[in-house]
Chains A and B, each alone.
Chain A
């Protein structure tokens, strides 16, 4: 399986007559996008632009999606949602690098996720550095919350897919090539290199805590194998955003840094054999079954080592530790990627589960750290949710529009795919 990614660098975004890329500027035809998003379940859809460095706050954020266009090879982007369920991960895919679709709107009680395009909060989220098309959706009267969430999720994916059409024919700035060999070929080509897989844990705890694989709710999957290149074509998409700091947006999935960094050492220091995806369900039987299957797949792949990434915290800490200990007990060496909830003073224990076998941990930082975000000139969305979002508290939103919150409320702040350069140490 071979996938070529063609990156088209986007440095600015503007509304225009035609959706196209010209000299690094992504022009967006509003009517064209709105027509593509029309949905009976949504009473109104508004489009806004947010650029790096602007005094803009977007909240509450549901998802962030990178526009990608499949131009060669089977299937299309976001299989099971925007495209049919053909297998993806082969051929050629174009990427509008530096552009993103951000969805916002009200859904349930606890509206999540802040993106500040400038100021101290901007340091914590990667999406202060992307040129964003913000899609604000309001539900039709009487729409149930689950349906509402599905409609907003779909609107974001469709907006990204429509925008990505601008990549067709545009000049590509950089090409990347990724290949996934089958097990036998890989061993033949790299007989002396350790076999390494990536155990990719997907949040699957219910409304606003779900993830989808080829259109399937990850709650209903048994752990299975993916080629890393499938992920780059949108095989995994996000339906979750609560405690936004450590939830993987669709953008994170498309640009999974563990996959990228394993590929960097592939063929030199290790043999990257593939991705095991597993879920984080809420019942004990599910946790046991999924971790058993994960360990079994790891054993069948004759792995020497694995990187395991968690999504979320608390309850999924048990899935993380089960995956880690079951692999270690089979003699497969692991590194786990997590983040921490050590309290606002940093003095509390960081995880809800632990085991001495988890002796190699990489952390995305303490999500309870408190930050004050100064007021922004423009707010896209609903700022008053600051008092009730995860990471916020009564009095978070001050009269002048500044917000004091835990970094937990900032999209991607303590990402557990290792997307950021943040860590924590004991002092």
Chain B
């Protein structure tokens, strides 16, 4: 069996180029392992080979972040690795950011795993935790002798496709990705046992720690609604009949943008809902119930609003992930601003 191919990313210091005075060097490659890569190769043994080391100065990387990512990625890709190891970066902020950015570029573009090592307070972790399995290290290179074996061991497990235990068992910091598992006991029994522990004041572990919610403060009121251009945006799934964009009935991965040019009323012949999460009978009979085009056209006629924007946007807010919802919102808001829309009526179901 051929060995797994690994590329190692290091900064100028660990890449044995020099200290802060060399922090401005652009990325370059050395064949084989360098510096801590030597010890790492010893841990990887005969199963995997560090075929090359990519080195970049921390200042250069952070001051040219897009170019640095692209160049480092290209150098790494040239070696066709099965896995990339970055760092460890310990508590060096710029190095941590660089390792994280490399991890992001590699995982997104090459689709291969990245193992790194970092001190939990390094800002690079917060920014890039999702893109690498970061082994928890001490704050300085003094912890190199514990960091490298942990990183090497994890790298081998990942390369061989072995089943991984919980992050704490494997020694890496959770990436924030929810993974389904099968447990020994059914959920109801786990719930009863958790409740008994909670009642007795004993320790228990919640299976889902509560997330932090971002709350959005409303904008100030419109100064003059009779001059305002108003847009309609809905998560209630109202789409032209036939659902031309095939928006999913649940877990939407997309939204649609549809013309309201010349439309004064939505009818059972023209529009319907794509939403699978509520009784669709009434929305399908008259989609104005969810997307009130008829009323807004009347208000427009009466001069009570300036105008109704000529497009509406629709998606399905049924089990749709927050990440997707945020992306839709950013894109839709950008277009609405470009189109000079003053206010939006958001309808849900």
Contacts and interface: CB of A to CB of B under 8 A. Distances in A.
A267 interface: no
Q: Counting chain B CB atoms within 10 Å of each CB, which of A109, A338, A363 scores highest? A: A109
A419 B322 contact: no
B323 A194 contact: no
Contacts of B183: 421-423
A355 to B, nearest CB: 7
Interface in A295-349: 304-307, 313-315, 333-335, 337-338, 340-349
A158 B199 CA distance: 43
Contacts of B204: 360
Interface in B155-214: 164, 166-167, 174-192, 194-196, 198-199, 204, 206-211, 213
B317 A362 contact: no
A365 interface: yes
Given A343-B323, A367-B319, A390-B249, A337 B167 contact: no
B175 A427 contact: yes
A120 B62 CA distance: 47
A262 B190 CA distance: 11
B279 interface: yes
B324 interface: yes
Interface in B252-301: 253, 272-273, 276-281, 284
B280 A108 contact: yes
A373 interface: no
Contacts of B250: 243, 390-391, 406, 408
B71 interface: no
B198 A348 contact: no
Interface stretch (A222-230, A253-261, A375-383): A253-261
Nearest to B204: A360
Contact of B318 (A314, A342, A361, A407): A314
A387 B274 CA distance: 12
Given A205-B278, A333-B198, A426 B180 contact: no
B248 interface: yes
Given A359-B210, A417-B188, A424 B278 contact: no
B321 interface: yes
A424 B207 contact: yes
A270 B196 CA distance: 8
Specify the main secondary structure of chain B where it touches its partner: loop
A190 to B, nearest CB: 14
A354 B211 contact: yes
B217 to A, nearest CB: 18
A132 interface: no
A341 B252 CA distance: 12
Contacts of A279: none
A13 interface: no
B305 to A, nearest CB: 26
Specify the main secondary structure of chain A where it touches its partner: loop
A389 interface: yes
A393 B253 contact: yes
B319 A390 contact: yes
A313 B319 contact: yes
A404 B198 CA distance: 40
A348 B210 contact: no
A360 B192 contact: no
Q: Counting chain A CB atoms within 10 Å of each CB, which of B177, B179, B188, B198 scores highest? A: B188
Given A358-B210, A364-B187, A426-B167, A344 B178 contact: no
B308 to A, nearest CB: 27
B251 interface: yes
B187 A417 contact: yes
Contacts of B227: none
B246 interface: yes
A75 interface: no
Nearest to B190: A362
A42 interface: no
B130 A359 contact: no
A305 B186 CA distance: 20
B198 A335 contact: yes
Contacts of B181: 365, 422-425
A82 interface: no
A426 B174 contact: yes
Interface in A142-166: 145-146
B180 A365 contact: yes
Nearest to A342: B178
A424 B178 contact: yes
B195 A305 contact: yes
Given A343-B324, A354-B213, A420 B186 contact: yes
A424 B198 contact: no
Given A314-B317, A418-B188, A423-B187, A350 B178 contact: yes
A242 interface: yes
A32 B195 CA distance: 47
Contact of A418 (B178, B182, B191, B196): B191
Contact of B188 (A207, A260, A306, A422): A260
B238 to A, nearest CB: 13
Interface in B209-250: 209-211, 213, 246, 248-250
Contacts of A391: 250-251
Given A340-B208, A366-B178, A390 B276 contact: yes
A23 to B, nearest CB: 30
8 contacts: A205-B277, A206-B278, A209-B279, A257-B187, A313-B319, A368-B251, A369-B180, A391-B251
Given A348-B321, A406-B251, 5 more contacts: A207-B281, A243-B276, A257-B188, A361-B206, A392-B248
Interface of A: 108-110, 112, 145-146, 194, 196, 205-209, 242-243, 257-258, 260-262, 264-265, 269-270, 282, 304-307, 313-315, 333-335, 337-338, 340-351, 354-356, 358-369, 387-394, 406-408, 415-427
Interface of B: 130, 164, 166-167, 174-192, 194-196, 198-199, 204, 206-211, 213, 246, 248-251, 253, 272-273, 276-281, 284, 317-324, 349
Which 9 A-B pairs give the minimum distances between C-beta atoms?
A: A418-B187, A206-B279, A418-B188, A343-B321, A390-B250, A348-B321, A257-B188, A207-B279, A394-B246
